[in-house]
Amino acid sequence: MVITRTKEVFRIEFKYNPRLVDGVKELPQRRFDPVNKCWTVPLSFEKEIANFANRYNFKFGSQVDEEKYFDVSPLPELNQEIPLKMKLFPYQANGVAYAIEKKRVIIGDQPGLGKAQPLNAKIATPAGFIEMKDIYVNCPVSTPDSSIAYVTGVFPQGIRPVYKVTFNDGYSTECDEEHLWTIRDHNQRRRNSGWQTKTLKEIIASGVEQKNSPSRIASGRKPVLKWEVPITKPVFQTCTDYIIPPYIIGVLIGDGSLTNNHVCFSSPDFDDFIVNKVEAYLPENLKLWVNRNVDCPQYFITQNKTTKKNPWYKEIENLKLNVKSIDKFIPQFYLQLNANNRLQLLRGLMDTDGSCFKNRSIFHTMSLRLAENLVQLVQSLGGLANINTYDRTKEFKGIEYQVCVSLNECPFSLPRKANQWREKSITRFIEKIEYLRDDYTQCIKISSKEELYLTDNYIVTHNTAQAIATAVAVKAKCILTICPSSLKINWEREWKMWSNYKPMILTDNVKHNFHLFHQTGLVNVFIVNFESLKKYFVQSISKTEGGKLTLKNITFKKQFTDMFDMVIIDESHRCKSTATRQSKLVKGICTGKEYIYCLTGTPVINKPKDLISQLGIIDQMPAFGGYKNFVMRYCNGPNEASNLRELNYVLTQNCFYRRDKQEVLKDLPDKLRQIALCEISTRKEYTDAERDMVEYLYKYKDADDEKVARVLRGEIMVKIGILKNVSARGKIADVCEFVDDILDSGEKLVLFCHLREVIHEFKKAYPKAVTITGEDDNAARQSAIDSFQTNPKTQLIICSIKAAGVGLTLTAASRVAFVELPWTAADCDQCEDRVHRIGQKDSVTATYFLGNNTIDEKIYKIIQAKRDIAKQITGSQEQIEESIVDLMFDLFTKPEEVSSEK
């Protein structure tokens, strides 16, 4: 803010701030000059100007730090008891206090904090199952879409009733009755329509079986199960560091003899496919030697020309696989391999000890532990498996365990078995729900969009109260809840769960008389979807001039709209356009209401202009100077976004609040990572380069001479660099959009790149940015750091990963973005820690831009899933390159050896 004296008047200039506007309006004869966009006061009122200046602690002609005037005050404390059935979280109570005070607001908090499971429930992670009690914030967990998410909140729920949910494959998990399940019924499955979310309590109330027909009862068949739960895709894991290939381990466990200081397996001649496949996987120093002096040929894996102990037998000893058939098992390490290697392990087992008869795939073993391991293996691949026990002691064969395997991919590679296999639909249904006990429970929230995670035996589970609490607090008499059609039942349930209000979903049966239910005291909350507003609340719509619909053209049914004293609009961003009929109907229904609450996790979908319609609905546009002033102040610039900090302040002061994760979930980490997938603009060039690299990978793996392999390895590193280059160039446009949004919001950003040409492209796009690259001398680097740290106008610094990865402090920013990836987690951490270090007061967010279906995704999965990769890829540059080439071979080669997750 600046006050200057001219020959005629005092001029007062500042960015819009309600506090300063109120102060100026107290000055005598003040006027607003629309041309120069400033306030003027006659010189005769110098004393009043001086008092005004003293109040805000500045001198004439001096610049004032306006930032402090936009600091948002904390939400008020709730100082009244609200008769609710459930207890509010502290942050929810603050939100209710704000909503009571302001009456017409937009609630922008993120929804849902998860539901509870007992502390001994097992949660799937990339490293295997861990118990719920051992889950921690930022813990990686496996999700049903074959990816990894991170725990963003852990919430103890105290002692609750715990139920056991059993499925038709015999496996089960435990949870409380408010736990959310993603399910669908028989009709939805038949129509292949979407899934729905229900609490366990609702599932119990509706039953788990379809109504049995007389003919089914007469036949003695079991009832049809009602609720299907989704089957997970192959669980994401990236471990690839094995000595014995997974297929061979499967063969050795299935038909191997490993107890007499040798490594061998038996295979009949008609199954020479298995022998050939094993031989193809053997390294140069090992070979197969066959013993035919037995009923079934034995194949010994031995060394070439050496008397040293077989290294594979040493590995068998390390894995403790040198046991008899009854004690066989799958080493835990192999159960944690990536999906394609786990599939190869399964095929090794099924090719040897599996059978396929009438499309029933069965694994046979005398070891219960191995049977249980195989079930876990199949379930981790997105399949179903169950164990049947056969007592064959009378046949002098002991007890046999048969594992029935159902999988969307063929579990065999042996042709004579694979030819018998046919793909069939895999489904999992809830079969039984039974109360177990009261126990300590806990819920978690994860970072995936659907908030789904995997619990015991890879069962898929799922992870509004402030508006309801406010309604109870202000003693609203009649409430209309407008929401998407899919949420109507959820709202009905929430009203019942939180309060004593009596909700009703509007249907055609009550289309003309639903107001009578309120008059007779039977209902005080009515729930309707956006698309049905016209049906229930509009009398008529008159013809419009020029085809433009306005509120004047709509006649509402007053006997219905007038009975509400509160309206709640869920997902209010659906009304972001003032031009749509839906927005106009909502606006008309809300006109004159004392309490209006808009709920949305994304109030601004694209630009600040998205707020205009929502602010109009809650009748808060006057706080922003009206429509024209709002557009002029906050919708300017090439991105139609301006003065965003000020906009946030004015919103919060008048009608809006939103708490981010850092405020709501106190135990969140102070550093978060997020992925931004880009559809690269260089796809054809990338495809050609990838094909070229794969050819070199095969040459490298087939190379017999170490000298030739070393040359090829160098060529492959060049090819990998080309792939990364093409992907990086293809992401530039998307990254620029991200950078523009960050800079428009007033934040600073550290942008990490690797390739010189990519850095040059960003320097062209952002000429005012400073840089730290290999081309900058020490003086230039220090100047760039000083400017970024101290100059508010220097918002962007473009850094080379190598040049700026260590030794620098860039804490003026809390946002870091990577256009390209280094090879190790340690290098990522070093770059992130330029911002995340002593002196940083904000939560740091690191955004990684990955090209969709490119080498970027493969490298990022390696980095994130194995954070200690830096320890495993150590030593000389040659060793590092060799490790990288081996990883790339696993990621890009033929299907039976590929190790990237699909």
How confident is the model over 781-792, as pLDDT tens digits?
889 998 998 898
pLDDT band of residue 433 (cuts 50, 70, 90) is very high
Residue that the structure tokens 């509402």 belong to: 556
| Model confidence at 741: pLDDT above 50 | yes
Report the distance separating Cα 143 and Cα 450, nearest Å: 9
Nearest in space to 11 (alpha carbons), one of 61, 47, 50, 59: 61
Please report the beta strands in 147-206, taking only residues with DSSP state E, as ranges in sequence order. 148-167, 172-175, 180-183, 196-199
pLDDT band of residue 248 (cuts 50, 70, 90) is very high
168's tokens: 């038709």
The whole-number pLDDT of residue 896 equals 35
For residues 776 and 823, the answer to whether their CB atoms sit within 8 Å is no
User: Exposed, middle or buried: residue 710 (CB in 10 Å: 0-12, 13-18, 19+)?
Assistant: middle
Strand-pair category, 116-118 with 428-446: antiparallel
Question: Who wins on pLDDT, 91 or 300?
Answer: 300
Mean pLDDT (whole number) for 881-900: 45
**pLDDT (tens digit per residue) in 32-83:** 887 777 888 888 888 888 888 777 665 444 443 444 445 667 888 999 999 9
Question: Which range is most confident: 8-12, 87-91, 158-162?
Answer: 8-12
| Model confidence at 696: pLDDT above 50 | yes
Residue 657 Cα distances to 80, 94, 614, angstroms: 20, 10, 14
The whole-number pLDDT of residue 897 equals 35
Would residue 21 be called left, alpha or beta, if left means φ above 0 and alpha means ψ between -120 and 50 degrees?
alpha
CA angle 813, 819, 823 (to 5 degrees): 105
The whole-number pLDDT of residue 617 equals 94
Please report which helix (H) or strand (E) contains residue 317, including its range.
helix 311-318
The whole-number pLDDT of residue 147 equals 76
The whole-number pLDDT of residue 63 equals 40
Nearest in space to 426 (alpha carbons), one of 454, 461, 386: 386
| Model confidence at 102: pLDDT above 80 | yes
For residues 158 and 87, the answer to whether their CB atoms sit within 8 Å is no
For residues 436 and 469, the answer to whether their CB atoms sit within 8 Å is no
| Model confidence at 112: pLDDT above 50 | no
Report the distance separating Cα 6 and Cα 888, nearest Å: 71
| Model confidence at 114: pLDDT above 50 | no
Mean pLDDT (whole number) for 437-463: 66
3-class SS at 501?
A: coil
Please report which helix (H) or strand (E) contains residue 505, including its range.
strand 503-505
CA atoms lying within 13 Å on the CB side of residue 151: 23
- Report DSSP state, residue 896: T
**pLDDT (tens digit per residue) in 193-207:** 667 778 888 889 888
Report the distance separating Cα 889 and Cα 628, nearest Å: 60
For residues 570 and 599, the answer to whether their CB atoms sit within 8 Å is yes
Residues near 652 by beta carbon (within 8 Å), at least 6 away in sequence: 72, 73
Question: Who wins on pLDDT, 194 or 474?
Answer: 474
Mean pLDDT (whole number) for 144-162: 73
Report the distance separating Cα 726 and Cα 854, nearest Å: 10
CA angle 118, 119, 125 (to 5 degrees): 105
Question: Who wins on pLDDT, 632 or 460?
Answer: 632
Instruction: 199-202: list long-range contacts, CB under 8 Å, 24+ apart.
Output: 199/115, 199/493, 200/163, 200/165, 200/175, 200/176, 200/433, 201/177, 202/493
Mean pLDDT (whole number) for 335-349: 90
User: Exposed, middle or buried: residue 367 (CB in 10 Å: 0-12, 13-18, 19+)?
Assistant: buried
571's tokens: 């997902």
Question: Which range is most confident: 44-48, 295-299, 691-695, 826-830?
Answer: 295-299
DSSP collapsed to 3 states, 782-837: HHHHHHHHHCCCCCEEEEEHHHHCCCCCCCCCCEEEECCCCCCHHHHHHHHCCCCC
| Model confidence at 453: pLDDT above 80 | no
Report the distance separating Cα 630 and Cα 609, nearest Å: 8
The whole-number pLDDT of residue 538 equals 93
Nearest in space to 626 (alpha carbons), one of 635, 641, 616: 616
**pLDDT (tens digit per residue) in 745-804:** 678 999 999 888 899 999 999 999 999 988 888 888 889 998 998 898 999 999 998 888
pLDDT band of residue 716 (cuts 50, 70, 90) is low
Mean pLDDT lowest among 13-22, 451-460, 521-530: 451-460
Nearest in space to 250 (alpha carbons), one of 335, 323, 340, 349: 349
Nearest in space to 842 (alpha carbons), one of 811, 807, 888: 811
Sign for the pseudo-dihedral over CA of 893, 897, 901, 902: positive
Task: Give percent helix, percent strand, percent coil of the chain, each to the nearest 5.
Answer: 40, 25, 35
| Model confidence at 103: pLDDT above 90 | yes
| Model confidence at 543: pLDDT above 90 | no
**Residues β-bridged to residue 149:** 141
Report the distance separating Cα 567 and Cα 671, nearest Å: 38
Strand-pair category, 815-818 with 844-851: parallel
The whole-number pLDDT of residue 123 equals 83
Measured in whole angstroms, the distance separating CA 491 from the mean position of its chain's CA atoms is 24
| Model confidence at 404: pLDDT above 80 | yes
Report the distance separating Cα 17 and Cα 650, nearest Å: 8
The whole-number pLDDT of residue 608 equals 83
Alpha helices in 539-681 (DSSP H): 558-561, 581-590, 610-617, 626-634, 644-654, 661-664
User: Exposed, middle or buried: residue 99 (CB in 10 Å: 0-12, 13-18, 19+)?
Assistant: buried
Question: Who wins on pLDDT, 119 or 367?
Answer: 367
pLDDT band of residue 522 (cuts 50, 70, 90) is very high
Q: What dihedral angle (degrees, nearest 10) is formed by the CA atoms of 493, 494, 500, 502?
A: -50
Residues near 648 by beta carbon (within 8 Å), at least 6 away in sequence: 70, 72
For residues 633 and 16, the answer to whether their CB atoms sit within 8 Å is yes
Mean pLDDT (whole number) for 553-565: 93
Report the distance separating Cα 347 and Cα 329, nearest Å: 15
Report the distance separating Cα 766 and Cα 253, nearest Å: 60
Tell me what the pLDDT averaged over the chain comes to.
80
Report the distance separating Cα 149 and Cα 448, nearest Å: 6
The whole-number pLDDT of residue 577 equals 85
Measured in whole angstroms, the distance separating CA 647 from the mean position of its chain's CA atoms is 29
Would residue 236 be called left, alpha or beta, if left means φ above 0 and alpha means ψ between -120 and 50 degrees?
beta
3-class SS at 211?
A: coil
pLDDT band of residue 705 (cuts 50, 70, 90) is low
**Residues β-bridged to residue 526:** 480, 504
Q: What dihedral angle (degrees, nearest 10) is formed by the CA atoms of 471, 475, 477, 478?
A: 0
User: Exposed, middle or buried: residue 308 (CB in 10 Å: 0-12, 13-18, 19+)?
Assistant: exposed
80's tokens: 């009244």
Measured in whole angstroms, the distance separating CA 387 from the mean position of its chain's CA atoms is 34
Would residue 340 be called left, alpha or beta, if left means φ above 0 and alpha means ψ between -120 and 50 degrees?
alpha
Which DSSP string corresponds to 681-735?
Answer: TTHHHHHHHHHHHHHHHHHHHH--SHHHHHHHHHHHHHHHHHHHHHHHHHHHHHH
Alpha helices in 103-245 (DSSP H): 186-190, 200-206, 214-219
3-class SS at 482?
A: strand
Nearest in space to 693 (alpha carbons), one of 722, 670, 671, 673: 722
DSSP collapsed to 3 states, 89-114: CHHHHHHHHHHHHHCEEEECCCCCCC
Question: Who wins on pLDDT, 129 or 550?
Answer: 550
Mean pLDDT lowest among 21-25, 329-333, 392-396, 401-405: 392-396
| Model confidence at 443: pLDDT above 90 | no
Task: State the amino acid at position 297 in one-letter form.
Answer: P
* Range 496-509 burial, b when 16+ CB lie within 10 A, else e: ebbbebebbebeee
- Report DSSP state, residue 209: B
Nearest in space to 662 (alpha carbons), one of 451, 445, 843, 443: 843
Report the distance separating Cα 331 and Cα 357, nearest Å: 28
Nearest in space to 125 (alpha carbons), one of 144, 139, 146, 114: 139
Mean pLDDT (whole number) for 704-724: 66
